[in-house]
Structure 1
Amino acid sequence: MTAVLFDFSGTLFRVESTDSWLRGVLAGADVRLTEAELTAAVRALEAVGALPGGGAPARVPEDLADTWLVRDQSAALHRAAYTGLARQVALPHPALHDALYDRHMSPAAWAPYPDAVEVLRALRERGIPVGVVSNIGWDLRPVFRTHGLDQYVDTYVLSFEHGIQKPDPRLFATACEALGADPRKTLMVGDDRRADGGAGALGCTVHFVDHLPAADRPDGLRPVLDLVS
């Protein structure tokens, strides 16, 4: 392999828990809930899939169905999809739904998987260029910079900046072109078999990792180093 592409959420980074997400927003807004109220709200937000990077919604409301399918094609669609899901859950103030969306874009809401730095550093030491290809509605570069991983990434290909989303092979092709890499000698690493599997249409080798909380997946990325050796 002469290049490696990585997905973002669930692959290199994992978003904070729904509990932490909601507590952070409530604290910032100086809004207080009882523990019972907070637990109920967390469960409801998880059920509707309101946290980007968290679990998928059990059901997408009919009025959001079309937006949901193309949510990663623009910043406006992404915000509309996720705030729409969140608004299914009653919160003490309507502004909290937008505040929740804003918080998930904060670098503090994300943590790299325990072996992410190790693996990216090793790839850099081997002279293997790295790209990040993500279905997303906002600029994730500050997350990488804040956590010290930006120095190991050579290019970012983000769906909302191109108006297309994985599994469209054009996103992967754009990343390979930016890296000067032959897709047939490029490894794509992701957690979504449908979205990230789209790289296979170009001839890329695709390796999947489990989308788990960071603490539950301490070494899921290390096999990548064997695949490129």
Structure 2
Amino acid sequence: MTAVLFDFSGTLFRIESTESWLRAALDGAGLKLAPLELTRTAEALRRAGALPGGAPPLRVPEELAEVWEVRDESSTLHRAAYTGLSRQVPLPHGLHDALYERHMSPSAWSPYADAAEVLSALRGRGIAVGVVSNIGWDLRPVFRAHGLDRYVDTYVLSYEHGIRKPDPRLFGLACAALGVEPGRTLMVGDDRRADGGAAALGCGVHFVDHLPVTERPAGLWPVLDLIP
């Protein structure tokens, strides 16, 4: 292998809890909820699937089904899909947009405990690294804020190309940007359908578990065993 492609959410980074997300948006707006109401509202948002990178919706409302399917193809669609889900939950005026803005903040994301060490080890071996993500916003500031940008050679983000995983073309763009052959490239992700699309291009594929940061201290280390 000469290159490794990584997914973002659930692979290298994990979003904060729904309750932390809601609390941060409330604080930013100068609003308060009673503790029990905060817990109940956070649970309603979790069930609605309103937090990008969090739990998927238990049910996508019929009026959002079309935009939900293509949400990662543009920033406009991504925002519409997730604010549409949050609006299924009664919230103070303006908070739906504040919640969406909050999830794009670097402080809303935490790298997995072994992410820096594994990326550093790959750099030390001369392995090219790319990030391939289905997303509707620019995640580069998250990597910079957490000190991981120095290990990444290219970012291929669905909304910038109007293509989403598992479409092999998105992985092909990453390989082309790195100047590597798909057959000598490993894709690492947590979604068997989306990230597994790299196999159609000839890439190797390795899956990690989408777990909270505290429950997956060394999930990325096996990647190094797959790189000679």
Q: Same fold (TM over 0.5)?
A: yes
The answer to whether 1:50 aligns with 2:50 is: yes
- TM-score normalized by the length of structure 1: 0.99
Q: Mind listing any 5+ residue stretches in structure 2 that lack a counterpart?
A: none
The answer to whether 1:160 aligns with 2:159 is: yes
Q: 3-state DSSP class of the match of 1:64? A: helix
What is residue 173 of structure 1 aligned with on the other side?
Answer: 172
Q: Which amino acid aligns with 2:85?
A: L
What is residue 20 of structure 2 aligned with on the other side?
Answer: 20
- Give me the whole-angstrom Cα distance separating, in 2, the residues matched to 1:227 and 1:94: 50
Aligned length: 228
- Give me the whole-angstrom Cα distance separating, in 1, the residues matched to 2:145 and 2:27: 22
- Give me the whole-angstrom Cα distance separating, in 2, the residues matched to 1:211 and 1:23: 23
Q: 3-state DSSP class of the match of 2:224? A: helix
- Give me the whole-angstrom Cα distance separating, in 1, the residues matched to 2:87 and 2:16: 20
- Give me the whole-angstrom Cα distance separating, in 2, the residues matched to 1:94 and 1:49: 20
Percent identical: 73
Q: Which amino acid aligns with 2:62?
A: E
Q: CA deviation at 1:167?
A: 0.4
- TM-score normalized by the length of structure 2: 0.99
Q: 3-state DSSP class of the match of 2:10? A: coil
What is residue 149 of structure 1 aligned with on the other side?
Answer: 148
What is residue 74 of structure 2 aligned with on the other side?
Answer: 74
- Give me the whole-angstrom Cα distance separating, in 2, the residues matched to 1:94 and 1:158: 31
Q: 3-state DSSP class of the match of 1:111? A: strand
Q: Which amino acid aligns with 2:33?
A: L
- Give me the whole-angstrom Cα distance separating, in 2, the residues matched to 1:228 and 1:187: 9
The answer to whether 1:137 aligns with 2:105 is: no
- Give me the whole-angstrom Cα distance separating, in 2, the residues matched to 1:209 and 1:181: 23
Q: Which amino acid aligns with 2:79?
A: R
Q: Mind listing any 5+ residue stretches in structure 1 that lack a counterpart?
A: none
- 4+ runs of 1 displaced by more than 3 Å? none
- Give me the whole-angstrom Cα distance separating, in 2, the residues matched to 1:58 and 1:209: 23
- Give me the whole-angstrom Cα distance separating, in 2, the residues matched to 1:172 and 1:164: 10
- Give me the whole-angstrom Cα distance separating, in 2, the residues matched to 1:5 and 1:186: 7
The answer to whether 1:86 aligns with 2:50 is: no
Q: CA deviation at 1:94?
A: 2.3
Q: CA deviation at 1:177?
A: 0.6
What is residue 4 of structure 1 aligned with on the other side?
Answer: 4
The answer to whether 1:217 aligns with 2:216 is: yes
